Amino acid sequence: MPANLTPAYFKAEQWYRSATTPEEKILALEQMLAVMPKHKGTDKLKADLRQKLSAIREGEEKRRKSGGVDIFHIPRGGAGQVVLLGMPNSGKSSIVGLLTDAKVHIADFPFATNAPVPGMMHFEDVPIEIVDMPPITADFSMPGQVGTYRNCNLIAIVIDLSADVEEQWNACLDFLETRNLLPGKETVCICTKSDIEADGAIDKVKKLCANRFDMIATSIESGEGMGELPVMLFKQLSIIRVYAKPPGKKPDMDEPFTIPVGSTVFDLAKVIHRDLAEKLKHARIWGTNVYEGQSVQRNHVLNDKDIVELHFG
C-alpha cells in the first residue's frame, strides 16, 4: 500500500536530515510521527521512526549521565535572553561589544566568533541578556547551535546593510524555518552598518520584514539606532517591570521584578512569596491607570513601572 506522505511530512523529514544534535533529531522525529498520515501503508515507516527515536533517546540518556558539556547551552540570565542570528561578518559581535561588557571577538574577516558569548545590556533599570553567536551560512551551522536559539526568549536576525540583504535574509529564514523555530519564538530584525548602506538596502529589508517582524537600522560607527535598540528588545520581550513596596516602607526602586505583560497582582505575589500568595488580600498601587495608592483586587492587571504594595491576610 502506498504511504501517501504529505508536504508537512517531507518538511519534517528535511528538518530531521539537517538536524545535527540528538535533541534536534528527537524533535524532528516527533514531528514526523505527528504529521504522518495514519493508515496501513505507513505502519512500517511508523515502526522504523519509533525505533530511531528510542535509540537516540537512549544515547542521550547515557550522554547526560556521563556529564557531557554542551557549549551552546547558555542558561538564561537577566529579565530575558536575546540571541543573535546572522551570516559571517554581519556585525553581531560589534553589537554585543558595544552594548555589554562581554569580551567579544570583532574582526574584519568571517567566522571570527566560534562559540556563544553572553553579555548583559541594560534598558533603563532592566538587565537584558544578549548572546553573540557564531555565524550561519545557507548550508552551514555549527552542530548544536540551534539549541541556543531554541532555549532563548527572543531571536534577533542580524542583516548587514552593506552586503547582499536577500542572501542573508534567505539564509536566516531558511535556518529558522527548517528547524521549526518560527512558530513560538519571537523574532526581530536588526540591520547593521547603516553608515555604509548599499543602495536601497533598508527598503529591501523593510519589505522582507513586512508585517511579520519589527526591524531597526543601526550602526556602531554613527551610533544610529543604538539608543533605541534596547527599548525595542525590551518591548519585544513582552515584559513589564514593577517595584515592590513593603507596607509602611519606601519601595525598592533598585531591583524591579520583571513579569510577563498581562500579569496580575496575584501573579506578582506568586513570584515574590510563592508560599504566601494564596493569602493575598489586596494591593495598593502607585502608577498607571490608578490614583496614588489605590487599593486593587488580586486580579488587577499591572503596568510597566507600577509600584505595588502587597497586603496578605
Ligand X SMILES: Nc1nc2c(ncn2[C@@H]2O[C@H](COP(=O)(O)OP(=O)(O)OP(=O)(O)O)[C@@H](O)[C@H]2O)c(=O)[nH]1
- Which residues contribute to the site for ligand X (CB under 6 A)? 86, 88-94, 106-108, 110-113, 135, 192-193, 195-196, 219-221
CA distance 121 to 102: 9
120 binds Mg ion (CB under 5 A): no
158 backbone dihedrals φ, ψ, rounded to 5°: -105, 120
Instruction: Give me the amino acid identity at 81.
Output: Q
- For residue 224, give the H/E element and its range: none
312: part of which helix (H) or strand (E)?
Answer: strand 307-312
d(CA 150, CA 83): 10
In this structure, what C-alpha cell is assigned to residue 184?
Answer: 513560538
For the bound state, the minimum distance from the C-beta of residue 192 to Mg ion, rounded and expressed in Å, comes to 11
Cα 57 versus chain centre, distance: 26
Provide the phi-psi class of 161: left if phi over 0, else alpha when psi is between -120 and 50, else beta. alpha
With binding defined as CB under 5 A, does residue 258 bind Mg ion?
A: no
Least Cβ distance, residue 71 to ligand X (angstroms): 15
220 binds, among Mg ion, ligand X, none (CB under 5 to 8 A by kind): ligand X
Q: What would the x/- binding string for Mg ion be over residues 93 to 112, using CB under 5 A?
A: x------------------x
- Interface segment toward Mg ion; rule CB under 5 A; list 67-75, 90-98, 115-123, 296-304: 90-98
C-beta of 92 vs 179, nearer to Mg ion: 92
Give the count of beta carbons closer than 10 Å to the beta carbon of residue 184: 7
Cβ distance to ligand X smaller for residue 41 or 110: 110
Q: Is 113 in the site for Mg ion (CB under 5 A)?
A: yes
User: Judged by CB, which is closer to ligand X: 91, or 230?
Assistant: 91
State the residues that interact with Mg ion by CB under 5 A: 92-93, 112-113
